[in-house]
Structure 1
Amino acid sequence: MMYGWRNRIGLVVTSSDRTSEGEYFRHTPDGVSVHVARMLLEDGVADAETLERMSADVERCAKLLKTTDVDVIAYSCTTGSLLKGEGFETEIERRIETVAGVPAVATAASIKRALDALDVESLTVATPYIPELNELEVDFLEDSGYEVLDIYGLGCRTDEEICAHHPEMAYRQAREMNREDADAIFISCTGYRTFEIIDRLERDLDKPVITSNQATLWDALRKIDVDYSEIELGTLFRH
């Protein structure tokens, strides 16, 4: 049987990301394939300067994925799709759509759509980032209308450090970030492995958990009208 007989997702990741592909490959519905293009993130350094230079690689990746005849393209990088503030995330989607001629989703935009689908107004945020990126994320979320009650980052400066963390680390960090007055917890970063702990964390905290890859995959599947009801990735995948 042909791979992607049902639909094909194009996935744009940073060149040093070792997490997104694995999470997507294991959790796409039957008949949906994933095809990857990489943007150069110099030395895998996760800071605003290198992420901004990386963003110039978007069109090249879109051109490559267009030749694979994908049905949707997911830009899988959280801070890379919000670093210039609110509105940058939809600009990236438009840039991809213009080149590839198919719908596109960018992680920062997908996160907002996920928060809105779950009626989230206030949240706490767990990240692996350095303070510079945490500040950009808070500004983006608050400018988009959400109340960020708290944010904490692990201080990782490279994708190498981020991708080395096990999902148990994301669980422990998010649990420590929980607040009774938060509608949800958001675990940020597409390189931060989370899929294994989403359901457990929601049961333990009794509130929705949104993560970067989870929101992006959910949004991409919605774009191509694929039934995702059998995927067990938290409350979001029941919407």
Structure 2
Amino acid sequence: MTTVGLLYPGHAAEDDFPRMEVMLDSDIRLPLFHTDVDEDSRSVEALRGAGTPERLAAGVEELRMAGAESLVWASSGAGFVRGREGAQEQNAALARAAGLPASSTSFAFTHAVRELGATRVAVAATYPQDIAALFADFLEASGIEVTAVRGSGMITAAEAAGCGPERVKELAVAGDHPDAEVVLLPDNALHTAAYVPELEELLGKPVLTANQVAVWEGLRLTDRRIWAPTLGTLFATREPPIGAAERRGIEVRE
């Protein structure tokens, strides 16, 4: 049994996680704690407020009681709006509070891109363009080339959560770029778990989505490798690339 604890702001697409438990078809558990949010908004102020150390620490004890072996902050925007250094500090504070390996969806994207051996990505975001641009800045600060970044102007998580499969496909196609090796959909409020392979077939390249990479990151922190092609190319590689293995511990590492 491997247990990955997830901290999730408010309510939107959290039903992706029990769906992934079933799709993984293994002894994986994904307990989730809902953190508080002041308002459902994708403004920088609201996103920064959602990711304060106090809010992240609130769910730590419950997830520890659930047997979590690692913790992941399942909010892309509330991480990357702080910049790379600020997001690192956020992860470190969570790891200290929990006494467990900890990470976030923002860094999960950077690790997953490297796992796929890619260096160039396109960002197909639900966010307003200014917030999407901050994610691109975060990726570039992590050494990843962003060939294109497209925001779709969705102001709330509720609006993103209401997107069905066809709308998600439209977002992915609109955000793709010929030079991109991978397309990223960075929003944990977007339902994607059930059809990542469909998106990859449509675009002809790997697709990384927020809830998908959050779970993968939590498993990575426990040194657990899972074969689950129904969750896309990221879960269809049995062994990590040479040199990708990292020593695990409480400290947050890059």
Query: Do the aligned partners of residues 137 and 98 (structure 1) sit closer, same or farther apart at CA in structure 2, a change above 3 Å counting?
Result: same
Counterpart contact for 2:6–2:31, Cα < 8 Å: yes
Deviation at 1:23, TM superposition (A): 4.4
Partners of 2:18 and 2:30 within 8 A in 1 = no
Name 2:86's counterpart in structure 1. 88
Does the aligned pair in 2 maintain the 1:47–1:132 contact within 8 Å?
no
Cα distance in structure 1, aligned partners of 2:222 and 2:207 = 23
Q: TM-score, normalised by structure 1?
A: 0.90
Correspondences of 1:1-239 after superposition (within 5 Å) = 6-19=1-14, 20-56=16-52, 57-239=55-237
Report the RMSD for the aligned CA atoms in angstroms.
1.8
Gaps of 5+ in 1: 1-5
Alpha-carbon distance change, 125 to 50 in structure 1, aligned in 2, over 3 angstroms: same
The percent of aligned pairs where both chains have the same amino acid is 23
Write the letter of the residue equivalent to 2:204: D
Off by >4 Å, runs of 4+ in structure 1: none
Contact 2:33 2:63 in 1 (8 A): yes
1:45-92 CA distance string (max 9 Å, x none): 222111111212111122332232311111100011111111333322
Q: How many residues align?
A: 234
Residue aligned with 2:39, SS: helix
In the alignment, the residues of structure 2 paired with residue 98 and residue 174 of structure 1 have an alpha-carbon distance, to the nearest angstrom, of 36
- The secondary structure found in structure 2 opposite 1:219 is helix
Distance 1:21 1:202, change over 3 A: closer
Q: Is the 8 A contact 1:42 1:50 kept in 2?
A: yes
What residue identity is the alignment partner of 2:36? Answer: L
Distance in 2 (CA, whole Å) between partners of 1:15 and 1:41 is 6
Provide the rounded CA distance (Å) in 1 between the counterparts of 2:60 and 2:187: 21
